[in-house]
Structure 1
């Protein structure tokens, strides 16, 4: 091994380059199956969770489909007196007003998941605003609540998305623990992801699927058994506002 190579590389590229690479290595963090980008100065950022050492977290459920599994999810939450955050697609709200009213009646928090599940990173600022406003116009008359949280479909967003959300006084929410239940339907796989990835201040992402409905109670029992207090996203992040 030529011990002179690192010195030659440093001489060629300069100490400043080494410093930049070191910073990139430190700030590239993995949350669930996503890589958090290194944000540029003054760029808007979404919220992936709360900065806390307290064992507190939030469970969210994104709904565009899977209506038949929502009652079982609501039952699991109600039996344990746990409140979650449901991010609702505008199109789904139009088609399922009674189910949405039941979610609200059970005391859960409602956020926006856009209107028609578009890839928001591909939309202009104006298009982002229109999509979010269309969703709110579908959801708010049914729920009687004012939306303050937005979770982009597929976790897809750009700076225009974040700017549009800010313009509408929404906080853009992401997640730190992804069950990936839209793809995988093995109970042990979904539970294993929660057990492995949940951490203080975390946000767990779920969807209404057959497997999710089966394991919801087990997931909640595991988390509370580990000492976690589960609350809606709005409450989780309120202390950082």
Structure 2
């Protein structure tokens, strides 16, 4: 007969397990974000309407933003502009026009660098530095962010979420920054980079209003008019989120993850 002897754990082992348990409970959100591998930005949403989010990134340039604002005003479209804070500080009149025209302002960060290369404290500093500038210029509460170059990881998303931000990606890419020509920009949005993946309700479209994307000025009227003919409404991302029953991918529903402890 085999006898199994259970040894009483030492006080040191018990202390170590106690410390580990305390760390997990106290920092459970950080632990989840690091080990789950599931934190994602919002690429699109599920809606019962025919609304589509329209967004523009601006980090540099003098020529493209104003013509785009003219087109949006003529077409009666309100969009979300993700602005880098140095650009916004330098072009305050244009930013104030965006606000006056009814557009939503989001953050495109401070320095145009990949936040994934920074530590949590540096990420927080980048976000808050941009927030201070953007809120002073716009008078809006800034709580949407599109990270520079769309770069993200758990650390970036968790830090942004902790600061009250929702990280916004895109599901339809115009690729206008590649300067493929206006016809290609139109096709990328309406038909998709792969056939059948064009803009549809709940999608978020990515454009640029920096000077790197001059084709957008010529492509935008056609895109707007074609989507209107399909019965779609182009709206700011913040409004799209208000209508959403859920966001995609599921890992972007951070509040739900926190509640379930996943």
Shift, 1:52, TM fit: 2.8
2:179–2:214: 8 Å Cα contact kept in structure 1? no
Q: 1:171 aligns with which of 162, 166, 169?
A: 166
Summarize deviations over 1:111-163 as a string: whole Å, max 9, x none.
00000111011111111110001111111101011101000111101111101
Summarize deviations over 1:22-62 as a string: whole Å, max 9, x none.
xxxxxxxxxxxxxxxxxx74732210011135321011000
Q: Which runs of 5+ in 2 are unaligned?
A: 1-34, 192-197, 247-262
Q: Which runs of 5+ in 1 are unaligned?
A: 1-39
In structure 1, the partner of 2:177 is: 182
In structure 2, the partner of 1:213 is: 217
Q: Is 1:227 the counterpart of 2:222 in the alignment?
A: no
Q: Sort the Cα spacing of 1:184 and 1:53 in 2 relative to 1 into closer, same or farther, 3 A.
A: farther
Cα distance in 2 between the residues matched to 1:168 and 1:127? 13
2:54–2:234: 8 Å Cα contact kept in structure 1? yes
Cα distance in 2 between the residues matched to 1:199 and 1:239? 15
Q: Sort the Cα spacing of 1:189 and 1:42 in 2 relative to 1 into closer, same or farther, 3 A.
A: closer
User: Could you say what the CA RMSD is over the residues aligned between the two structures, in angstroms?
Assistant: 1.7
Q: Is 1:62 the counterpart of 2:63 in the alignment?
A: no
SS state at 2:47 partner = coil
SS state at 1:67 partner = coil
- Structure whose alpha-carbon radius of gyration is higher: 2
1:125–1:163: 8 Å Cα contact kept in structure 2? no
Cα distance in 1 between the residues matched to 2:92 and 2:48? 38
Summarize deviations over 1:169-198 as a string: whole Å, max 9, x none.
010000000111111240110000011121
Q: 2:143 aligns with which of 145, 148, 154?
A: 148
Cα distance in 2 between the residues matched to 1:77 and 1:142? 21
Q: Is 1:236 the counterpart of 2:243 in the alignment?
A: no
1:104–1:143: 8 Å Cα contact kept in structure 2? yes
What TM-score does the superposition give when structure 1 sets the normalisation length? 0.80
Q: Is 1:43 the counterpart of 2:44 in the alignment?
A: no
